[in-house]
Chains A and B, each alone.
Chain A
Amino acid sequence: MAHHIENDFQQTAEIPKPQTKAIWRTFFILVGLTALEFLFAFTMDAGTARNAIFIILTIFKAFYIVAEFMHLKHEAKSLIWSIIIPLALVVWLMVALLAEGSYYYESITNYFK
């Protein structure tokens, strides 16, 4: 009897994997995006356009990792926003300090001219 219950538990526990399909789909998207990045790295000349493509592809990869692998897409709205808003502010800081770095470079190179 005890054996039967245990077996029953095993039976109910072994649900076929409905989630795995989405996981592998996300995996192939990530691999595809990485391959695309390499394609651009070798076929395109370095410059603002290429860097913009890299950053956009990176944001796509980050979206798939956070939304699907870390399951954030399926969490409560308030949790999603409390993660995304602070990170958006960090991106703002990054843009601001890149401009600051360029300004610093301009100043030291043009100062003695």
Chain B
Amino acid sequence: MSTSTTLEAPKSGTWDGGNEPMKASYGKLMMWFFLLSDAFTFGAFLIVYGLSRHAHTPYTGEAEAFTFSTEWWPIPEKVFNAFPGFHGVDLPLAFVALMTMILIFSSVTMVLAVEAGHRMDKKDVEKWLLWTILFGGTFLACQAWEWTHFIVGTDEGMLLPDGSRYYGASMAFNQYGPPLFANLFFFITGFHGFHVTIGWVLLLVAFISTVNGVYHKRGHYEMVEKIGLYWHFVDLVWVFVFTFFYLI
């Protein structure tokens, strides 16, 4: 008899497992702390970028007279000035601006999907998830183009002391500046792109589950919310990468 009473008693004490710490569900809380640890990783990358940049000679001349050299750290708007379909036209940061807009848009459609999930509106969740998948895929395609351009290089390349020219970038040497510049570009934007790819796959899974009515039967769309948290984090990282890699 005593057993049955203990079983029936609701476990509501702080340490009985009957409550939600910080008033957030287990899944959301764990997603938050995962994102915090992920922020440390990205923070480490950006800290290394800042340290490396301060440990290299800055370019002090006129911006118009800038040339690529291993002597100094490049000015980002002279490196990232290409746009697909506009070969040889100097469009500083235009393509990055487009990518930033696409990612902000995808964040908005994601939050609209979460909002639709709160209202248990299956149709709207599907619609907004599909938009997010579309924008996320476009962003990945843009990044693929940017990497290709960065690796292949520009028409001018870098003039080497022996009179020859070096085009593009690899881990060992690049036409834009010190070797660390390309290395950090590959690692920081690559790690971010990897995160976007994972988020994109998660979005596909969520979309298929939504269409199959998995979440509707479950009674809540918390999975969409958790993937949403991850997706916004990816957008947040891009905001920082954009500032520290492309603007400053």
Contacts and interface: CB of A to CB of B under 8 A. Distances in A.
A, B: real partners: yes
A90 B43 contact: yes
Interface residues of A, number: 51
A4 to B, nearest CB: 18
Interface stretch (B105-113, B144-152, B158-166, B189-197): B105-113
Interface string B214-248: 00000000000000110011011001101100011
Interface string A80-112: 001100110010011001101110110011000
B43 A101 contact: no
Contacts of B23: 75-76, 79
Interface string B99-123: 0110010011011100100111100
Given A14-B119, A17-B119, A41 B36 contact: no
B144 to A, nearest CB: 22
Contacts, number: 129
Chain B interface category by residue count = 35 or more
A97 B119 contact: no
A27 B47 contact: no
B154 to A, nearest CB: 20
Interface of chain B, main secondary structure:
helix
Given A13-B121, A69-B111, A79 B32 contact: yes
A87 to B, nearest CB: 6
B52 interface: yes
B53 A27 contact: no
A17 to B, nearest CB: 7
Contacts of A68: 111
A20 interface: yes
Interface of B: 22-24, 29, 32, 36, 39-40, 43, 46-47, 50-57, 63, 75, 77, 92-93, 97, 100-101, 104, 107-108, 110-112, 115, 118-121, 228-229, 232-233, 235-236, 239-240, 242-243, 247-248
6 contacts: A15-B119, A41-B93, A69-B111, A69-B232, A90-B40, A100-B54
- Top 5 nearest A-B pairs by Cβ distance? A101-B54, A101-B51, A79-B22, A58-B243, A90-B43
